[in-house]
Chains A and B, each alone.
Chain A
Amino acid sequence: MKIVVAVKQVPERDAVLHVADDGRGVDESELAWTMNEPDAYALEEALQLKEREGSGEVVVICAGPERVVSTLREALAKGADRAIHVVTAEDGLSVRDTLGVARLLADAVKDEAADLVLTGLQSDDLGAGQTGVVMAELLGVPHATLVLAVERVGDGIKVKRELEDGWFQQVEMPLPALLTIQSGGNKLRYATLMGIKKAKSKETREVEAAGVQARVDEVVKVAAPERVKRIEMLTGSPDEIAAKIVEKLKFEVKVL
């Protein structure tokens, strides 16, 4: 089975964020970057599927400027067989809307004729939660979202998807197909030293991004949210803070 995994590079979780000078984006100049966590689960599912089948290929794809190469390298070190870098300008993702970004990925994936395309259910940065489903539509293949487990059944697959409130559902579909992966279905692996070494000899193909089409939605302003609730911040040494909290729990919240 040939599996393509689409991953996104996002700012590190603890990154200190500053709004860009134009007030319409995030200042990226001093950010540290990492692989979007739900995409790491998609990669893990792909690697385990390949291992279970005993054969096949896992191709990882990422769109963005030069910096995303580090995320592709991380995926190769974890076990992906080769990588595709859809090379964009520095602002290549923000000048495109969800449809535009999905189109970049779908165009590059098309030629691969993969059996399965996997990606995370959403990104930790913009959180639109759409790229995978839009790619499925552009590729003309069936999809399932919030998938926790994938099993091969005959010519197709059976997946376990998460519903709300602790419910689940099995969904069957033919291949090729696209799945968006929910986190927690597997345990993430770390890259081994051997993996990091091997990654250096693996192929990363560069694909030039197609031209930008006009966005259908536009971001007009980005700002830190206003605090709506009155919060009381406690300061002092740990013991002083603890004493203040105990006072409150006793006399205001009345749980002690």
Chain B
Amino acid sequence: MSRDVLVVMEQKRDAGWHRTSVEALAAGQKLAAELGVGCSAVVVGDAGGLAAELAGTKKLDAVWSVTHELLRVYTADGWVAALQQLIAEVKPGYVVFPHTYQVRDYAPALATRLGQTLISDVTAMRVADAKPVFVRQWMQGKLNADYVHVGDGVCLVSVQAGSFRADEVQAGACEVREFAPVIEAAGIRTKAGEPFREAAQTVDLSAAPVIVSVGRGIGEQENLGIVEELAEALGAELAASRPICDAGWLPMERQVGSSGQTVAPKLYVAIGISGAIQHLVGMKGAKTVLAVNKDEAAPIFEVADIGVVGDLFEIVPALTKAIKSAA
């Protein structure tokens, strides 16, 4: 077995790369450079000539294009079979995935087939004594845990969205290598339907210059009023973290985070939001973040510019009053 790095790229439904897979490519190249080993990439079910585009523009040893009649539509069974066979052929030491919904669907099964686990949702990596250390978040971001892979098998890692920089991908050129896996139709146990959207989105938070966002800390639906008043005083759009929308207190279309909207306002006010990573990926592009939370260890304070540790039921009304009298 080599110690080379293999990066699994992911295509978006419509066209182009899933952004996180370009970040995974940057992570893979960096890991390979620090270990002094080669780096290749793989595209499963390439439909739009993306493998060729990748090979023509990025610094890699090879781009593997894995195609098969049964890989036109994503299924976990198809992807596991294809990648298991490619890994047996290429024998990489490390496989780097983007931590996307799709990867979460198949990579743990692939890891199990290989007798491994996936070191998932990695936010940073470093090499110490020629051995990589991967950092994962525990307890919704309150702690960082350093993981190392042990044993002789292949090491599987997925990287979190926004943790590596897509603009640091090294340019270059290499060849496309075709790989045809053996996949039986009977081995695909699920039937995947066409992706669809529900009612057209009517709230576009992505263009809002000011957003007031509310999280679990608000406690009860009846308490939302004080946050609505603050949003009104600021002329802001109202948004929320997932639990608030899950509970039906605000419509799903006002959700910010990995399963909701991605926003980049001038000011993002986070009220009672602890800052689980699923929320942070949706708002860390904000220019200024003001966070109010009773827990000083809340991860939201790691991305905030202005922080207040305290009781939101005292701070928020006082702030609304002060803004109104300043206007």
Q: Contacts A187-B248, A246-B323 given: A169-B315 contact, CB under 8 Å?
A: no
A167 & B197 in contact (Cβ 8 Å cutoff): yes
Stretch touching chain A among B27-35, B42-50, B106-114, B173-181: B106-114
What 1/0 mask marks residues of chain A from 115 to 141 whose CB sits below 8 Å from any chain B CB? 000000100111111100110111000
Residue of B with least CB distance to A230: B305
C-alpha spacing A171/B105, complex, angstroms: 13
240-256 of chain A: CB within 8 A of chain B:
241-243, 245-246, 248-250, 252-256
- Judge whether B2 is part of the interface by a CB distance below 8 angstroms: no
State whether the Cβ of B301 lies closer than 8 Å to any Cβ in chain A: yes
Of A49-57, A85-93, A204-212, A213-221, the segment with at least 4 beta carbons within 8 Å of chain B is: A213-221
Q: Which residues of B contact A124 (CB under 8 A)?
A: 139-140
Q: Kindly identify, within residues 166 to 213 of chain B, every residue whose CB is under 8 Å from any CB belonging to chain A.
A: 189-198, 201, 209-210
A98 and B117 contact, Cβ closer than 8 Å, known pairs A124-B140, A164-B100: yes
Q: Which residues of chain A are within 8 angstroms of B90 by Cβ–Cβ distance?
A: none
Residue of B nearest to A184 (CB): B246
| Interface size classification for chain A | 35 or more
Q: Chain B: how many interface residues by the 8 Å CB criterion?
A: 95
Within 8 A of A (CB), among B265-320: 266-267, 274, 277, 287-288, 290, 295, 297, 299, 301-311, 314-315, 317-319
Give min CB distance, A183 to chain B, whole Å.
Answer: 5
Q: Could you tell me if A133 and B310 are in contact, using CB atoms closer than 8 angstroms?
A: no
Chain A minimum-CB-distance residue to B144: A225
> Binding site of B, secondary structure by majority: helix, strand, loop or mixed?
mixed
- Smallest Cβ-Cβ distance to B302: which chain A residue: A227
B112, B144, B307 — which one has the most chain A CB atoms within 10 A of its CB? B112
Name the distance in Å between A99's Cβ and chain B's nearest Cβ: 5
With the chains together, A242 CA to B195 CA distance in Å? 46
- Pick from B113, B116, B258: contact of A216, CB below 8 A: B116
Complex interface: chain A residues within 8 A of B311 (CB): 238
Given known A133-B109, A233-B309, contact A242–B322 (CB-CB < 8 A): yes
Contact B246 A183 (CB under 8 A): yes
Q: How far is the CA of A174 from the CA of B189 in the complex (A)?
A: 7
Q: A130-B117, A243-B322 are in contact. Are A222 and B150 (CB under 8 A)?
A: no
Tell me if A14 counts as interface (CB < 8 A to partner B): yes
Q: Closest CB-CB distance, B284 to chain A, in whole Å?
A: 10
Answer yes or no: A26 CB below 8 A from chain B CBs.
yes
Contact with B along A149-175 (1 / 0, CB 8 A): 000000000000011101111111110
Among B76, B146, B195, B319, the residue within 8 A (CB) of A163 is: B195
Q: Which residues of B contact A98 (CB under 8 A)?
A: 108, 117-118
* A224 partner, pick from B77, B143, B317, beta carbons under 8 A: B143
Cβ–Cβ contact B143 & A223, under 8 A: yes
**B147, A127: Cβ atoms under 8 Å?**
no
A111 within 8 A of B: no
Contact A231 B307 (CB under 8 A): yes
Residues of A within 8 A of B106 (CB): 133
Which among A129, A138, A220, A246 is the interface contact of B112 at CB below 8 angstroms? Answer: A138
Smallest CB gap from B313: residue in A = A238
- B189 and A241 within 8 A (CB): no
Are B120 and A11 in contact (CB-based, < 8 A)?
A: no
A143, B76: Cβ atoms under 8 Å? yes
Contacts of A143 in B (CB 8 A): 76, 109, 190
Residues B195 and A218 in contact, CB atoms below 8 Å apart: no
Q: Digit string of A1-23 for contact with B (CB within 8 Å is 1, else 0)?
A: 00000000001011011010000
Q: What string of 1s and 0s marks CB contacts (under 8 Å) between A167-209 and chain B?
A: 1111111100000001110010000000000000000000000
Contact A26 B195 (CB under 8 A): no
Residue A110 is within 8 A (CB to CB) of chain B in the complex: no
> CB distance A253 to B288 under 8 Å?
yes
Known: A137-B108, A145-B104, A168-B196. A125 touches B138 (CB 8 A): yes
The answer to whether B144 and A224 touch across the interface, beta carbons within 8 angstroms, is yes
Tell which of A19, A168, A254 touches B198, judged by Cβ atoms closer than 8 Å.
Answer: A168
Q: Does A81 contact B (CB under 8 A)?
A: no
Measured between beta carbons, the chain A residues less than 8 angstroms from B258 are 164
Q: Does B162 reach chain A (CB closer than 8 Å)?
A: no
A133 CA to B210 CA in the complex, in Å? 40
Chain A 48-84 interface mask (CB, 8 Å, partner B; 1/0): 0000000000000000000000000000000000000
**A residues with CB within 8 A of B:** 11, 13-14, 16-17, 19, 26, 97-99, 102, 121, 124-130, 133-134, 136-138, 142-146, 162-164, 166-174, 182-184, 187, 214-225, 227-234, 238-239, 241-243, 245-246, 248-250, 252-256
Question: Sorted from nearest, which 3 A-B pairs have the closest CB atoms?
Answer: A184-B246, A170-B193, A142-B189
What are 6 A-B contacts defined by CB distance under 8 Å? Answer: A134-B111, A146-B105, A168-B196, A225-B137, A245-B322, A256-B327
